[in-house]
Each structure stands twice: as C-alpha cells, then as structure tokens.
Amino acid sequence: MREYANLPANFNSRLNAFFLDLGIVALALLINIFMQYSNFYKVGITLFVWVVVNIITLVFKEGQTLGKMSSKIKVVTLTNEDPGFWICAFRSIFILTLGLATAGIYFVIGLYISEGRIDKRSFHDLLFKTKVVRTKVFVELTE
C-alpha cells in the first residue's frame, strides 16, 4: 500500500474554495449596502471581513481559509510547512490587489495558469514560494 501526501490541489477544489471565500465577502458587502453607515464604515467593515476570512484563518487554521477547509486543500510552503503570517498576508493582499486592478481577470488567469502547470502552482504561488495541496492522503492499494 502506497500513500501519497501533499498532492497538488486540482482546478475544481481551488475554484470551489475561491468562490466560497468570495461569497462570504460578497455577503458582507451586501449586508453593508443596506446599513445606515457612511461609505467609509461600509468599506472598513467589508475589508475587515475580508481580512478575517482570508488572512486570519490562513494563519490560525494552518494555511486554510473557510473555502479551503470545505474543499480539503491548504496553502503550504515548498517544503510542506505551514506558511507564516507575513507570507499569508502578503500573498492574500497580492491576489486581491491584482484581482481588483484587473477587474477580476487575474483570478481567471491565475486559475488557468495553475491548471496548465504540472505542479499546479499559480503566479502568486511562484512569487511567494507556496503551493496549494490536498489535505487528504491518497492511498493506492497494490498487490
């Protein structure tokens, strides 16, 4: 019996995690639209939710956001260790900044770059020396 750990996450798992994380932030944004606060507070509350969903959970859940937990994937360094706070923070800020600056085009390009590579690493994974792996161990039964 052979066990394979830290296999690269596939396209569907990454996409599901991305949309769940994005959905949580979008829900916070929708709730804020109907609040009686000024725009400054609405933006602040939405950014706070984004920070909690993406950066804080990445650090305290060992490389997993809520979306990654549900998809059973996580972010690790190239040596399969948990990334530190700063790597998680800068990686998430980089993804968000490029995604917003390109009106979402980077999100699509990033997913397709990772799917086209053998190691399934996207541009931000290459830049920050991380990778997204499956948390479940694959077991191959051999006779």
Q: In which band, very low, low, confident or very high, does the pLDDT at 141 lie, cut at 50, 70 and 90?
A: confident
pLDDT above 90 for 137: no
- The model's pTM: 0.83
pLDDT above 70 for 143: no
Beta bridge partners of 132: 75
* Token reading at 79: 């040596």
Q: Which of 6-15, 38-47, 117-126 has the lowest mean pLDDT?
A: 38-47
Contact (Cβ atoms closer than 8 angstroms) between residue 96 and residue 50: yes
Kindly report, residue by residue over 31-63, the tens digit of the pLDDT. 877 877 777 777 777 778 877 777 788 778 888
